[in-house]
Amino acid sequence: MPINIQNIINQLEAKLTAADSNTSSNESLRLINLIEQINGSGGILEYQFPNQLPPVDSAQIGKLAYVRETDFYYDSSGLLGHFPKYYFAANDSDGWSEFDMNAKLNADSDYQAYIASLSSSAGGAGPSWVFQGTVSGYTSGGQVAAPTYAASNIIDKFAFAADGNATDVGDLTQVRFAATGQSSTVSGYTSGGQAPAILNTIDKFPFAADANATDVGDLTVARYRPAGQSSETSGYTSGGVGAAIFDVIDKFPFAADANATDVGDLTAARYWGAGQSSTVSGYTSGGTPPSSNVIEKFSFASDGNSTDVGDLTAVRNGSGGQSSAVSGYTSGGMGPPITNIIDKFAFASDGNATDVGDLTSTRYGSAGQSSTTSGYNSGGATPATTNIIDKFPFATDGNATDVGDITVVRELVAGQQV
C-alpha cells in the first residue's frame, strides 16, 4: 500500500503527540474527521496497543499501522493521556519499525497538495459542529416502575459541569416510552415510541430555555425501540418495531420542522439497537431479533444503506449509546443475560469493540448522553426500574460512577445533550 494515501495521518500525530490542555478541540476533531475520510476508502491498520500488531508477512508488507496507546503523559491539568505512534512494515525480516511520519512527509510535495485539498473540503479550521454536549444531558419520556408501568412525558435535565440530580424542565407532547433521541445545537428531539399506541411523532424541545416540546413532524412509519443518531444538519431514526420489524433509516432536518424521509436500510431488520454518531457517520450497535452483536455504519454525507463494520464483545439489545470524538460506546443491555459491560469501538477505522469498563449495575432500557469528556447512562431496569445517572470517562478506559438521579424512576427512556 503506498504511503502517500496515509499522508493525512501526519496531522493527527503532530497534534496528538503534543496534546495537552491547550490543544484546540476543534483542530483535533478536524484531524479525526480527515482520518475517517481516508479510512473509509481503505485506511491504515489500527490497534489499541503495540502488542496487538500482527506478525509481519506478505499481507502486511508496505502497510502502515497506527497504535493508539503507547507511552503515557500527563497534561497540565493532571489528566492521563497516551502517545500514539506509527509503524511501517518494510519487509518480513525486520518486522514493524517505528515510523517518523513528520520526517517523511515534511519533504513530500504530494502531501502538501493532499492536505490542502482535504482541508478545503472539510472547512479548513475544522467542523463547527460536534455531537457531544458541553452543558447538559437530557432524559425524555420512559416507563415508570411497577405496579403501573405507566408511560411518561417528562423531560429531565442534568448538568455536565457538576455531578448531581436531574430536574424536570418540561413535557413531551404526549406520554411515551421506548422512543429514541437526537440532538441539534439548539434543540432536543424525541422520535417514535409507544404510549401504548405505536407512534410516528417527532417532538422537539429547546435547549436555550426550559420548556415543553412541540410536535414538528412524523417518521415514515410508526415504531418503537429504534436507535437515534445525529449529524450537524439532521436527525436519524434507524430500525424499530411496530406493524413489523423495520430496517428503515429515517432522516429529518434540523433547520426546518418537517417529516422524515426514508434514506436507507440497516443490514437487517432489527430493533432496540444503540445509536452512536461521529462527525461523518451514524452507527447502530446491537439489537434484536435475534439478539445481535453487529456494529453497522451509514454515511451522513450521502443517503444510503448501512454496512457491517464490526462486532460488540457480546450479543445484546436495549443498550445505551454514547459517543466521544473518536469512539462509540455501547453500555449495558441484555443478551440475555442483563449486562453492565461498556464496550468501545473506534470511529477512525472499522473494527470490533473492546470491553473497557462496567456500569455501576447491570441494566437495559437506559438512555445514553455524551459530553465532550464523559459518557452518561440514565434510567433503565436492573431488572428493577432505576433512576441512576452513571458517568464514565472518555479519556481513559474505566468503570462508571453513580453521579446523580433522574427525577422519576423509569426505563425505556431517550437521551439528548447540548
Question: What residues does 136 pair with on adjacent strands?
Answer: 159
Quick check: 2 pLDDT over 50?
Answer: no
Average pLDDT over residues 392-415: 97
For residue 267, what are the CA distances in angstroms to 200, 250, 307, 310, 348?
22, 14, 6, 12, 21
CA-to-CA distance for 337 and 104, rounded, in angstroms? 50
Residue 6: predicted pLDDT: 44
Q: Domain 136-417 adopts which CATH fold?
A: Neuraminidase (2.120.10)
For residue 324, what are the CA distances in angstroms to 173, 229, 240?
30, 13, 24
Q: Edge-to-edge strands of the sheet including 341-346? A: 320-323, 327-331, 341-346, 354-358
Tens-place pLDDT, residues 144-159:
999 999 999 999 999 9
CA-to-CA distance for 197 and 409, rounded, in angstroms? 22
Contact residues for 33 (Cβ-Cβ < 8 A; gap 6+): 122, 126, 127, 279, 280
Tens-place pLDDT, residues 87-144:
777 666 777 777 665 555 454 444 445 445 444 444 444 456 789 999 999 999 999 9
Cβ atoms within 10 Å, residue 139: 30
CA-to-CA distance for 370 and 377, rounded, in angstroms? 9
Task: Assign 11 a pLDDT band (cuts: 50, 70, 90).
Answer: very low
First to last CA, the chain: 41
Quick check: 8 pLDDT over 50?
Answer: no
DSSP alpha helix (H) spans, 89-206? 101-105, 109-121
Question: Average model confidence (pLDDT) for the chain?
Answer: 84
Least confidently predicted of 76-90, 224-238, 389-403: 76-90
Higher local confidence (pLDDT), 376 or 32:
376
Helices (H) and strands (E) counted in the chain, each on its own, are: 4, 32
Residue 4: predicted pLDDT: 40
Average pLDDT over residues 384-396: 96
Structure letter (DSSP) for residue 116:
H
Counted residue by residue, the chain has a size of: 418
What pTM, to 2 d.p., does this model score?
0.73
Cβ atoms within 10 Å, residue 263: 20
For residue 147, the number of C-alpha atoms closer than 13 Å in the C-beta half-sphere is 0
Question: What residues does each domain of the chain span?
Answer: 3-121, 136-417
Average pLDDT over residues 208-226: 97
What is the three-state SS of 161-181? Answer: CCCCCCEEEEEEEEEEECCEE
Tens-place pLDDT, residues 17-27:
444 545 444 45
Higher local confidence (pLDDT), 200 or 77:
200
Tens-place pLDDT, residues 219-252:
999 999 999 999 999 999 999 999 999 999 999 9
Tens-place pLDDT, residues 345-371:
999 999 999 999 999 999 999 999 999
